[in-house]
Amino acid sequence: MEERSTGLATQRNAFDTLQKVLLDAHRRGSIADDPFHGVVPPGYVPDQITILTKEEIHALEAVASDGLRVLIDLMSR
């Protein structure tokens, strides 16, 4: 997945899904050994986000073009 530039969040979601399926098969006896023994899951640390205040949003709208103003309005509601 890394060779195809797949993002870490997508890698983590795929890993979690595969892990659930295989561990369930292990619990039910379909797979003898724990398939995830010693496997290191992909690391995913989400970026920190900043939520703008109403004043900051209004300041952006005041200097934005019409198209950007519509986008800001839609995203902030």
| Predicted pLDDT of residue 65 | 94
Tens of pLDDT, residues 24-66: 999 898 988 888 888 888 876 777 888 999 999 999 999 999 9
Residue 54: closest CA among 77, 22, 38 = 77
| Predicted pLDDT of residue 62 | 94
Angle of helix 66-76 relative to helix 54-63, nearest 10 degrees, comes to 160
Q: Do 7 and 46 contact (CB within 8 A), yes or no? A: no
Q: Which has more confidence, 56 or 7?
A: 56
Output the six-digit token pair for 60: 């952006």
pLDDT at residue 2 is higher than 80: no
The whole-angstrom separation of Cα 22 and Cα 27 is 9
Query: pLDDT-based confidence at 18, cuts 50/70/90?
Result: very high
Cβ neighbours for 69, distance < 8 A, ≥ 6 positions apart = 61
